[in-house]
A and B are shown apart, each in its own frame.
Chain A
Amino acid sequence: MAILEVKNVSYYYQDGDQKRMILEDVNVEFERGHFYTIIGESGSGKTTFLSLLGALDKPKSGEILFNGEDIYKDIEKYRQKDVGFVFQSYNLIPYMTAFENIKLALDIAHNKKDINVKGILEVVGIDKDKANRVITKLSGGEQQRVAIARAIAKNPTVLLADEPTGNLDIDTSDFIVKIFNMLSHKLNLCVIMVTHNLEIAKRSDIIYRVDQRKRNLVLSHV
């Protein structure tokens, strides 16, 4: 059963008087326990699509349903509990430590459970010493691991990742893809990753391609 349903979604940028259509009448479904990748050329709208899934932006028409409910109905609750987001540029708060960044996400989600933040950090390869460093003292790869830890700490149903390996070396990229596979297959998450790296995409379960001409998602590989 689909956890995330995209129904007739269209999106355009307003450029003066003109509309620049990015996505037109997109219909697609995502299920738990699968690792999806979305590929496409630069500017094709794949990141825009991911932003819509993460409720960072709103479609001009159509709807996106999570568990059958409009994600914009209670946007904060959706962002707090149901979806985790990993950005290409990590987007961690620079004056906080790795530990505090994750704690912030849990505080915002009002997560009262006794979650072992340092344990989660260790899972993504951040030891206790690094966990207590401020973000600016960590490498890019380490920051991305912290970002993933932050996204999964609150135990979301959907994990969205926007070019998470874009700035990383091969080993780290490989590690992150392994984590995403583990999250989807062992923890039953719905992982959706945007990438332009076809090799990485091939390691996912399902690949969608953004067809720039059709302005739509096309199933590319299962």
Chain B
Amino acid sequence: MFDQHYALLYLKRNPFKAIISFLIFFVVANIIIVITYLNLSTNKLTASLYDNIEYSISFEGNIFDTAAYSFDHDINKNIKEIQASDEELLASGLVEKIDYHFGVDGYIKNFFLMDEAYPDITYYERALVYGSFDDVDLKLVEGNLSDLENGAIIPEGAFYLEGDERVPYKLGDTLNFEAPVLVNSYFEDEIRETTNFPLKVVGIYDPLENESDDDYRFSERIYVANEKALEYYDLLYQNYQKAKDQALASDLESFESDAKTLNAKFYYYHIDAKDYDSLVELIDKTNSLAIRLSYKVGDIIRNEYSVISSLDEANKVKNTIDSMQLSINLTLVLLVVLILAGMSFILQLFLKDRLLEMGVNMSLGRYKRSLFSQYLLENTLVLGIAFILAQFSAYYLSAFFIDILRNASNAKQLEILESSMNTDVAILDKVNALLSAYEIDFSLAMFGLSFVLVFVITLLTTSLNFLRVRRFDLVDILKKTG
């Protein structure tokens, strides 16, 4: 085969054209590799962000039980709080056995925990309680859950907000109020923080009979409707190391009966969103939007309820990623089209310049495939050098662009994270993981793939141009005059 000899001869004798071709291939290879890197990087970013969403959205509650919460801390600041039914606790492996007896303050449940859990938690168990605040009188109305589910209106006056505003609410309504959070008076230092509480009417307030001033906090119960909650109790343990108290009746007989009822209705939901669709699906299942609760209640319970994201926020993140990916992918497609058109045009100019050469070759009896092979070889030689060099330059170019992307999206991500949480090591890890998603991993597969892509473009453009040339009249090419 003498094709390669003449391919080399052409490149040697036409250095200017060879350099122009080299520059074209070099730029093309750079663009393709950089875009591929960016695409891979944003894919990693997407995965990482969904991990983050999983965490952010992992607490969903439309019940607010601060009082019970603080109560547990009052008994033992180091206890591991567990929110679960007895069956769940037993199933979790944390609790070895549970027995019941009456104590001074009411019904006491003793938990005998496994070694890895905290020992001997004394747990005051009441009905699922709804907290009151010193400065806010917030109660839901006595009533019947099924009535509410059937659209019954909570009577005016039944719901009191700060400012003495009285509004009738019905199941599913949402409201917001700003309130100073007083965790409880048992702490040595009272912690107050003004927090915006978006709330949703989720159930019925059911005050117990004979409530006294001392235990008013525990004598209220809210029944909420969520049949799905129990399905996720295992996830609850995974994501919340601390616990919350569980509803309990005032005597054993009614406890056993209420426990079943409450367990079925108890609302405490974890969303494990691996991607956007599952996120939406799970949020739909909860029958309510997530609410945001942000606490700073001492060291022990800090962040206990802190990371809660709404669907809106998830949407924001998703839209940001989607638009980023869409724009990158569109850019990729556009670039490939432009590259094809540009290369085709320039190679056509070069080929046009070589029409005479083609005509002479053909008049001497050279096969078209031999000519094509020579041109392809020329382009491939230049392409090969350009591509190898482009690997280096594209790497640094990618790092540069990714750095820009990182800075742009970091701000957004941190804004989202900071808006929904306090400082937390675990979350910082998430943030760091997010940032590391931008690291470029050199992939041999990607190298091969991008080379194939560039080669295919070369092959296509050379072929397209050659096909056009094929239609030319040989006699015309040789500039014959009759």
Binding site for B on A (CB under 8 A): 22, 42-48, 51, 54, 56-57, 75-81, 85, 87-89, 91-96, 100, 104-105, 107-109, 134, 150, 162-163
Contacts and interface: CB of A to CB of B under 8 A. Distances in A.
Contacts of B359: 91
A88 B361 contact: no
Main secondary structure of the interface of B (DSSP, over half): helix
Contact of B360 (A47, A80, A91, A100): A91
A85, A88, A91, A92, most chain B CB atoms within 10 A: A91
Contacts of B6: 104, 107
Given A56-B478, A162-B480, A79 B10 contact: no
A186 B273 CA distance: 93
A19 to B, nearest CB: 16
Nearest to B473: A57
A92 B13 CA distance: 15
Contacts of A76: 365-367
21 contacts: A22-B482, A47-B480, A51-B480, A56-B480, A57-B473, A76-B365, A78-B365, A79-B363, A88-B480, A88-B481, A89-B478, A91-B359, A93-B356, A93-B357, A94-B356, A95-B13, A95-B14, A107-B5, A108-B366, A109-B364, A163-B481
* Minimum-distance CB pairs A-B, first 8: A80-B365, A79-B365, A95-B13, A47-B482, A107-B2, A76-B365, A108-B366, A108-B364
Contacts of A108: 361, 364-366, 370
A77 B365 contact: yes
A107 B357 CA distance: 15
B475 interface: yes
Interface residues of B, number: 27
B479 interface: yes
A100 B9 CA distance: 10
Contacts of B360: 91-93
Nearest to A107: B2
B364 A46 contact: no
B300 to A, nearest CB: 83
B427 interface: no
A14 to B, nearest CB: 12
Contacts of A162: 480
Given A47-B481, A56-B478, A107-B5, 8 more contacts: A47-B482, A48-B475, A57-B473, A79-B364, A81-B365, A93-B356, A95-B14, A108-B364
A140 to B, nearest CB: 15
B358 to A, nearest CB: 10
Nearest to A78: B365
Contacts of B362: 79
Contacts of B356: 91, 93-94
Nearest to A105: B364
B364 A56 contact: no
Contacts of A77: 365
A119 to B, nearest CB: 20
Given A77-B365, A96-B13, A108-B361, A57 B479 contact: no
A108 B367 CA distance: 8
Contacts of A46: 482
B9, B363, B366, B370, most chain A CB atoms within 10 A: B363
Contacts of B370: 108
Contacts of A47: 480-482
Contacts of A56: 363, 474-475, 478, 480
B236 to A, nearest CB: 78
B282 to A, nearest CB: 69
Contacts of A163: 481
Contact of A54 (B5, B361, B363): B363
B475 A57 contact: yes
Interface string B342-378: 0000000000000011011111111100100000000
Contacts of A109: 364-365
Contact of B475 (A43, A51, A104, A105): A51
A107 B361 CA distance: 11
Nearest to A162: B480
Nearest to B371: A108
Nearest to B6: A104
A44 B482 CA distance: 7
